[in-house]
Every structure is written in C-alpha cells, then in structure tokens.
Structure 1
Amino acid sequence: METDFSILDVSGETCPIPVLRLKKILKTMPTGDRIKLIATDPNTKTDVQRFCQNGKSNLLEYSEHEGIYSFLILKV
C-alpha cells in the first residue's frame, strides 16, 4: 500500500529528540507535504502539539494505541 506522506519513526527516543528530528525534516519538505511521526515517549504528544502551533505546520491527526503515538502533520 502506497502512502502520500513520509514516515518518521522515533520510537524509543525521548524528548526533545522526536521534535528536533521532525523540525529538521520539515525544513527539507515542500509546503503541502505531510509526514507521519511515530513515537513511544508520552511527552511527545505535548511537544508536537506545541510545535505545530508555530504556524509552519498543522497537526492533522493524532492517535495512540498501546503506547504508540502517531501524528500526521502538514507542512504549511
């Protein structure tokens, strides 16, 4: 199955590393592209929500299942 977004798996990494890696990748992506961030650190939820309030990205979807946190983010 093909996706129309990139995937960044930062499972096992603790904050602030997931958001720092996300920020670095978003800088290289064109506006309008989406990325799915997968994390295991519960603090990532708050960090990603704050990061997406900067006006350069939008949090489109969030889900959590058995300690896996998934975020679909749009670069704006």
Structure 2
Amino acid sequence: MNVSDAVAGGDQREILIALRRTVAEAIDNNPAARDLAALVRAQLNIDKELSGLDAGSSDNVPADLKELQERTKRKRGAVIL
C-alpha cells in the first residue's frame, strides 16, 4: 500500500507503515549524508509511533519492522544525530 492509499483509508497504523516503507526505500537508495540523517530521524520517529500503537502486543509487530530497525541501527552508527 502506498502513502496516498493509506491516507485515504484513514488508518493511522497503515499510514505509518506506508511512510516507513517509503523512508526505508529512500534510505536504501544511498542518499547524501545530509539527507540520510534526516531520513534516519524520520524512520526512528515512525518506529516510535508504531511502537506506541503496538504497545502491549508484540505479536502485532511485523517482521519487516524488526529488520528495518536493525538496518536503521547499523546505519545510524555512521550518522551524527
């Protein structure tokens, strides 16, 4: 689902998931360091929002979120936030 479809549907969790995918794709495209820092911050904020929505139910956290969190942690080591 893309961001436009998620927004049209109005479900906050689906919007965050679509945003997370969009930001992850941008990170994977090897942006300039300046852009990477902003993307990583956005990714961390999205993850925090999703964690808040999923609080109390770890079964709802998709596998791709865990993978993305690990990738973000690895890339964050090279970025000054």
Normalised by the shorter chain, which TM-score bucket? 0.3 to 0.5
Q: Normalization by structure 2: what TM-score? A: 0.34
Q: Normalization by structure 1: what TM-score? A: 0.35
The structure with the largest helix share of the pair is: 2
